Structure 1
Amino acid sequence: MSRHLPHRPTVLIESSAYASRWRDVAPSAKALFALAGIIASWIAQGPAALAALTAILMLTAFLAARVPLHAYIAAALPPLGFLLLSYLTMLVGPDHNGHWHITTAMLPTIEHTALRSTAMLAALLGLVLTTPMPDLLALLRKLRTPELLLDLMVLCYRMLFVMRQAWDESITAQTARLGYRNWRQAWRSTGLLAGQMAVQVWQRAAALQTAADARVYQGTLRFLPTAYPQAKRQITAAAVAGAVMLAIALGDRL
């Protein structure tokens, strides 16, 4: 049995964002490019146009932003697994007698939905794998997103790392006590760990609240702003690239 979390997509995404070649690109430019990709993917109808949009978005992430392939695949696997499960359920339907069986009637719909979802996913991955969370929050604040929603996002984001730390420390302690020497002991240790995680996370969340109160927390979490001297040029480039994707989608639609 594995002694560590099988995968930490949140940590991987954030690490990739900070190491990205586009780390110093204005978040507004990256968000504009991603938004154009999403809108173009929604407008496009034909499989060739959707495949072209997906290729543009993925190649931009790999070649321009230099996102590592392993990080991209690891971040894409969970949503792709969810989509695959959805497509499999669309292959099952009732016949005239009310009996459920595998049907191919939905294959055209599945193909179109799969291509569109993949293109939109590529647009979102290009944004989150190149933009750290503080930059996204700063952009959302400029767009006048309610402060309560932003604070909830920060707290949930922070709690993911708190949970990871509590998990890793507990795993280390159990391993030192030979808690994973065989399968039976491993299952027992995992059950004990799951039972203790709620208490651990609750205690650490209380400590975070105490720390916030000690710093006179008034309901708004602030971050140091980051300057982007070339923001106008970057936004212009993103607008041009977005216009190309929209032209492809509109040309396919018309």
Structure 2
Amino acid sequence: MTRRDAPLETLAHTGPWRERHPADKAVLALGLLVCAVALPPWPGAAVVGTVALVLLAGPAGVGPGRAVRLLRAPAAFIVVGALPLLVAVGGPTVLRWDPAGLARAGELVGRSLAATLCLLLFAATTPLADVLPRLSRLGVPPAVTEVAALIYRLLFLLLDTARTVREAQAGRLGFATRGAALRSAAGQAGAVFVRAFDRARRLDEGLALRGYGGDLAVDVDAPAPSRRFIASSVLLLAVVVTTTLLLRLVIA
């Protein structure tokens, strides 16, 4: 599998920013996210979204095509969610066109797409395994991070189980007809549920036999945060804010 077709987590593990401290990438990506939420939607959303997309396609190593493909599903969800803003309820008809709705929908879509690109920038460069152990240092209860880590681990195991079951059913013509497809889907759901229950039971027994006392010690090996990278990120954020405000003055 090439990076062009790799899942998001694979991109995070193999990208050029893999060895950077999560704080470096958090300052950049989450700082852009704050800009996307706090700055005026126009032209703030356009400026922030463009910067995030350029970073994804270039320095982050995701590539323009892959970045666009990662954005397609969230973009469809955002557009569908903005459609109700185009109509109003009541009046002579049950539903009517709202003249002011187009502007509100455009602001919502622009701001949401920019924020999504900022989150993708962080997710495509920072594996979750690097983030969870450090959340406890920020005051997050260890039980929360450990449950998240276990769910994250089991999620991939169950997806692999579902894929294996589906391939076996397809090899036995389990999807040849609509009735067979329904039976196969029900069997697949049952198999995944049983496997998930068994995995959880075995995991609980394993932790108990190892004397689990409520805290899983994880050794995190990563370089210290880069002052140069953080300073460059702060400078970029300042440029984004300044550019947005200047463009807004020019447009106004």
Q: TM-score, normalised by structure 1?
A: 0.85
The 8 Å contact of residues 47 and 112 in structure 1, kept in 2 or not, is answered as yes
1:160 aligns with 2:155: yes
Structure 1 residue 20, shift from structure 2 partner:
1.0
CA RMSD after TM alignment: 2.4
> Where does residue 21 of structure 1 map in the other structure?
16
> Where does residue 3 of structure 2 map in the other structure?
none
Partners of 1:200 and 1:233 in 2: CA distance? 47
1:42 aligns with 2:29: no
Structure 1 residue 149, shift from structure 2 partner:
1.9
Partners of 2:57 and 2:71 in 1: CA distance? 14
Partners of 2:156 and 2:51 in 1: CA distance? 33
Structure 1 residue 98, shift from structure 2 partner:
6.0
The 8 Å contact of residues 28 and 139 in structure 1, kept in 2 or not, is answered as no
Worse overlay, 169-178 or 29-38: 169-178
- Letter of the structure 1 residue corresponding to residue 39 of structure 2: A
1:142 aligns with 2:130: no
Change (3 A) 1:76 1:246: same
> Where does residue 92 of structure 1 map in the other structure?
87
> Where does residue 228 of structure 1 map in the other structure?
223
> Where does residue 121 of structure 2 map in the other structure?
126
The 8 Å contact of residues 37 and 53 in structure 1, kept in 2 or not, is answered as yes
Partners of 2:75 and 2:114 in 1: CA distance? 12
Where do 1:43-122 residues align within 5 Å? 43-45=38-40, 47-97=42-92, 99-122=94-117
Q: Secondary structure at the match of 1:64?
A: coil
The 8 Å contact of residues 32 and 242 in structure 1, kept in 2 or not, is answered as no
The 8 Å contact of residues 26 and 235 in structure 1, kept in 2 or not, is answered as no
- Letter of the structure 2 residue corresponding to residue 244 of structure 1: V
Partners of 2:165 and 2:192 in 1: CA distance? 9
Q: TM-score, normalised by structure 2?
A: 0.85
Worse overlay, 63-72 or 23-32: 63-72
> Where does residue 247 of structure 1 map in the other structure?
242
Change (3 A) 1:69 1:210: farther
Change (3 A) 1:178 1:22: same
Change (3 A) 1:222 1:245: farther
> Where does residue 206 of structure 1 map in the other structure?
201
> Where does residue 233 of structure 2 map in the other structure?
238
1:186 aligns with 2:167: no
Structure 1 residue 248, shift from structure 2 partner:
3.1
- Letter of the structure 1 residue corresponding to residue 109 of structure 2: A
- Letter of the structure 1 residue corresponding to residue 106 of structure 2: E
Say which of 182, 192, 197 aligns to 1:197: 192
Equivalent residue pairs, number: 244
- Superposed CA deviations along residues 100-144 of structure 1, whole A, max 9, x for unmatched, are 234333111111111111111111110000001111113423322
Partners of 1:251 and 1:36 in 2: CA distance? 19
Structure 1, unpaired ranges of 5+: 1-10
> Where does residue 219 of structure 1 map in the other structure?
214
Change (3 A) 1:199 1:102: farther
- Superposed CA deviations along residues 22-60 of structure 1, whole A, max 9, x for unmatched, are 111221011011121112112221523321211111101
1:31 aligns with 2:26: yes
Partners of 1:83 and 1:248 in 2: CA distance? 26
- Letter of the structure 1 residue corresponding to residue 122 of structure 2: L
Change (3 A) 1:24 1:47: same
- Letter of the structure 1 residue corresponding to residue 40 of structure 2: Q
The 8 Å contact of residues 166 and 201 in structure 1, kept in 2 or not, is answered as no
- Letter of the structure 2 residue corresponding to residue 105 of structure 1: A
Worse overlay, 217-226 or 103-112: 217-226
